[in-house]
Amino acid sequence: MSGEMKTESKFEAEEMTQPRVVLPGSQSSNSARFVGIRNTLPSDVEMVAPFVDQLMRFISKFRVAEGDHFGIDLALREALVNAIVHGNQENSSKRVYVNCRCSADGEVSIAVEDEGNGFNHEAVPDPTSPDNRTLTHGRGIYLMRTLMDEVHFEQGGSVVCMRKRANAGSTATRKPQ
């Protein structure tokens, strides 16, 4: 991790390395065991890269197929930057909340929540249309939807939930270290 990190963020990133094992009890009988991590980030774009690097090390303990690590990494970076820049308007008094779950079979679920007012995700222009191809912004949601298996928005757009299904074709995965 970068030596330039703020004390608060460094503490929170270190706390992230202490995952809590959560065993869903009231869910269906075929629920897989998972490890969940919750973290809070300041609205500082400089914190995105070290945080994502740390979280991807955690995720890689559950994902056997490393070919899709880039996609999860990029989708997560886009969600975090959107939350900081668009959701929280880079207001240093606001935070971004991240909840990540990795199941024993390799499924990854990530929720990113900002403290902004939300937005209408259906009104975001398609960056692949000819009129929008030359714009220097507006590709984040498109990338998240392309790289992850599921993406949906909650709480009026202030929460983005992303999921990457379990490792394809694997019945046995690495055990968390």
Residue 64 lies in a domain: yes
**Overall domain count for the chain:** 1
The tens-digit pLDDT sequence of the chain (177 residues) is 333 333 233 333 333 333 443 433 334 334 558 899 999 999 999 999 999 999 999 999 888 666 779 999 999 999 999 999 999 999 999 999 999 999 988 899 999 999 999 988 787 767 677 776 766 666 789 899 999 999 999 999 999 999 999 865 444 344 444
Residue 98 lies in a domain: yes
Residue 1 lies in a domain: no
How would DSSP label each residue in 36-80? EEEEEEES-GGGHHHHHHHHHHHHTTT-S-GGGHHHHHHHHHHHH
**CATH number, position 125:** 3.30.565.10
Distance CA 165, CA 177 (A): 21
Residue 22 lies in a domain: no
Distance CA 96, CA 173 (A): 31
